Structure 1
């Protein structure tokens, strides 16, 4: 989806394209950027339509919070206005249709794993439930010292289902991930860095500068180098060493051939 498409649809998302940088902003500050199924579908469409020239995607929230999670008014059956898709609509579906709909919702998060670009979450205020999972969908997280991460799904009798469990385990390990999901406790910036959940924690007024610094560093190497490296690292934990070494060799052959041909990288 283009910036104009998002504006016309009133989807409360803002997309700013600046050369190789795309900034996606959740723009529902009066609701602490609470998320909706319509927003998830729009995020999936945005990811599918992102120009190939984009090398870094920054995801942020307008106002006082990154995202307070699911809009709770859309959770119960009949809680949404007519014509508005609600999570509560899932109750009326059979198992297969429910799972298929959740898969559509997950696509609004999983596009951020695309190896064509590096995704960065700039997280402040609250990152709760779906907000936590949206931050986890990004490759890197820069956070404020007073940020509050909390996986609240267990409080609602649910499990995290928006693609957040795998990156959470990869970031903090199984035991810590289980503790965070089961207890729904809040993790603030310094602890998030200490346990591997965030790359860096800064005072709130330094967040923009820290993200800009990271973006500049990410845009330094040639695009193909970052793409190849991200693809290598994404699956490394699940591969045998011999398989990983084979993939490294193949990627490096491509790099040498590109350099030999006088390519930019």
Structure 2
């Protein structure tokens, strides 16, 4: 299956794995209103895609996403915010601003989203990657909370997600300085999950592995891990019991046990 959204983001779905690519390589996949709209539209579509098991998010060409398009910075000098002109589909999450939705929609996709990062993931581009559940980076990838260079702050959910990943003090250092970090340091800090010389290949392999697991268990796990630390302990522990209660004895859970005992690949249904 192949689809193109506003000529900025492409989607191919094979065996439950969505291969999503930012498709503006001649501009380092920079974020302009059309790219923002394409990211949000694609994410909203994947929230309800039948049979979806995992998503890989990457960029065409050498870069993941170099951040805001230069035209946006030029408009800011005149007090304009071009992202606000993006034509977006309705959304129901807490994020309302265009950039926030472009990053947070990946957390709302009910299945795991794996970002494969090569080249530059700067400013808004990094914040889009932070919306993924897992980030696999090339050793020479360059990641930066770059907004301070332009006299700005990270406003695409970065001030919430970044401290959760790297700690409050490291988040402040990265945000105050805008310094760039490479793959190994990104992993050490918590910005990335692991390093691989071919992030997209590794991400697709991981996505296929996840796609072979009980999809209801994977979705439940994502829901629980997304809420962890954002709700009180009693609510989180109660949610655990609700999710496990729904899974135990369900057809896919029985199939997981049966397939394991019979030493064969499981056959799950959605």
TM-score range normalised by the length of the shorter chain: 0.7 to 0.9
Show the 5 A alignment for 1:226-237.
226-237=218-229
Whether the aligned pair in 2 keeps the contact of 1:75 and 1:88 (CA below 8 Å) is no
- Find 1:202's aligned residue among 189, 196, 219: 196
1:202 Cα shift? 2.0
- Find 2:240's aligned residue among 248, 260, 264: 248
Whether the aligned pair in 1 keeps the contact of 2:103 and 2:129 (CA below 8 Å) is no
TM-score normalised over the length of structure 1: 0.83
**What SS is found at the alignment partner of 1:244?**
helix
> What is the match of residue 68 of structure 2?
70
**Structure 2 residue runs without a partner (length 5+):** 85-94, 256-267
Inter-CA distance 44–242: structure 2 relative to 1 (3 Å threshold) = same
1:216 Cα shift? 2.4
> What is the match of residue 265 of structure 2?
none
Does residue 21 (structure 1) correspond to residue 17 (structure 2)? The answer is yes
Q: How many residues align?
A: 244
Show the 5 A alignment for 1:19-98.
19-50=15-46, 51-77=49-75, 87-88=81-82
- Find 2:103's aligned residue among 104, 109, 112: 109
1:19 Cα shift? 2.7
1:159 Cα shift? 0.9
Task: Give 4+ residue runs of structure 1 displaced > 6 Å after superposition.
Answer: none
The whole-number CA distance in structure 1 between the counterparts of 2:184 and 2:173 is 18
The whole-number CA distance in structure 1 between the counterparts of 2:13 and 2:36 is 20
The whole-number CA distance in structure 2 between the counterparts of 1:33 and 1:89 is 15
TM-score normalised over the length of structure 2: 0.82
> What is the match of residue 96 of structure 1?
none
Inter-CA distance 48–190: structure 2 relative to 1 (3 Å threshold) = same
The whole-number CA distance in structure 2 between the counterparts of 1:202 and 1:260 is 32
The whole-number CA distance in structure 2 between the counterparts of 1:23 and 1:62 is 11
1:209 Cα shift? 3.2
> What is the match of residue 115 of structure 2?
121
Inter-CA distance 131–4: structure 2 relative to 1 (3 Å threshold) = same
Root-mean-square deviation over aligned CA pairs: 2.6
